[in-house]
Structure 1
Amino acid sequence: MADLTSRDLTSPQPDCDGGGEIEAVAPDYTEIIVIRHGETEWNADRRIQGQIDVDLNDVGRKQAAAVAVRISKESKISAVYSSDLKRAYHTAEMIANCCGVIEVFKDQDLRERHMGDLHGVLFHEAAKTRPEAHKAFLSRSRDQEIPVGGESLNQLYERCTSALERIVKKHRGERVVVVTHGATIEELHRRGSNGMSAENVLNTSVNVFHLFDEHKWSIKSWGDVSHLDGLFGNNGQA
């Protein structure tokens, strides 16, 4: 499901380091830095995006620039992977550019959950305007699909964890950035924490996983948005 998008490397932003010093990762695991995309207008409006291809807004572009600078000042990364949706891919492009990585791998399996009949609906109106889909969304069953083509949580889980396991096989002993979406990251957290739920995943939050193989995952750090301190106030969430 992954395809490679190559581009000419444009000039890094002034604050970028072009990637930190190479620091060896133990050969028995891969460090995956999972980052949520920057904000979109639909995020700001509390409108359900799912797999609708909404791009970053001005706030989201500033958030993406901030996380890109942050990652460039840390240990060097080997590759950048992204959902193919614009909000994730454009965040990933900024990170790749800042870190001196000239290729971004796009993978549809890193997309947000397909929200079916809830796509485009304001959260606070969903119960009234899409009652069956809203009921399915709130279901305690992880096998409950959302009407009109939506995914169950277990379908999302299998899709996104398989994507990370493929990445591990290609990058043993390396550091890799993956840019994806809120519900997707929540499912990755579930895998890395043996079934525990994640708290709210903020835009451009940095979440670090160690994957030893497809059977052994661990979470090194979670939900770090320190790169947004002072950007807008409220942890950089405008």
Structure 2
Amino acid sequence: MPSLTDVMTADADLARAPGIRRMAAKGVAPADAFADWLCRMGDNCLILGHRVSEWCGHSPVLEEDIALANTALDLIGQTQLWLGLAGEVEGKGRTADDLAYLRDAAQFRNVLLVERPNGDFGQTLMRQFLFDAWAMEMLRALQASSDARVAEIAAKAAKEVAYHLERSADLVIRLGDGTEESRARMQKALNQLWPYTGELFQGDAVDQAMAEAGIAPAPESLKAAWDRTVAEVMAEATLVLPEG
């Protein structure tokens, strides 16, 4: 069984996705591609949930300790839904727990952003905001999915992520437009995490199959809305977006 450290350092190269079988019928995604995509959604939540949970008992104030613990619980709950459906679609008898804890590290499909170390409180919040802004756009689109199960999970998760985004954006603004030290820390966090955001919008054969089947949006289609959200929050936080 892989350790949590192994999971956190799993290679997130998009090229590791399995081969895609041709669609058996128009508008129907092959099971292997569908299961892989569901694991990506679940793994993002799983790894970030575990990262955030590391703050439990160590947050700067009690209120934030509770808030971060609740965020972690929400993410793990979403993990169970996505990986549970992945196991069902895969058809190999694996449960959400099996997929979460009995895969080798290289089999995880999460983006590198969610693996990044917590660092200080500012870095944790910046990572959360950048992910929340993406997750909100993804979940909005998924509520119109051609697969009713995906749409149902997205509708439930969107309610939680809307709160996560509101909270993380508010704190990024407060710290960015706060003291000289807090602003410097938030700018440093943004600069360090920014290179990892591009992967959120890079599609491959799996993403193409999902888009063609109407199950999920093409990753690149989410970028314009994400850019707007991030730009608005960073402007209010008096932070400078890195180039590129």
TM more than 0.5: no
**Structure of greater relative contact order (alpha carbons < 8 Å, 6+ residues apart):** 1
Q: Which has the higher helix share?
A: 2
Q: TM-score, normalised by structure 1?
A: 0.31
Q: TM-score, normalised by structure 2?
A: 0.30
Q: Which has the higher strand share?
A: 1
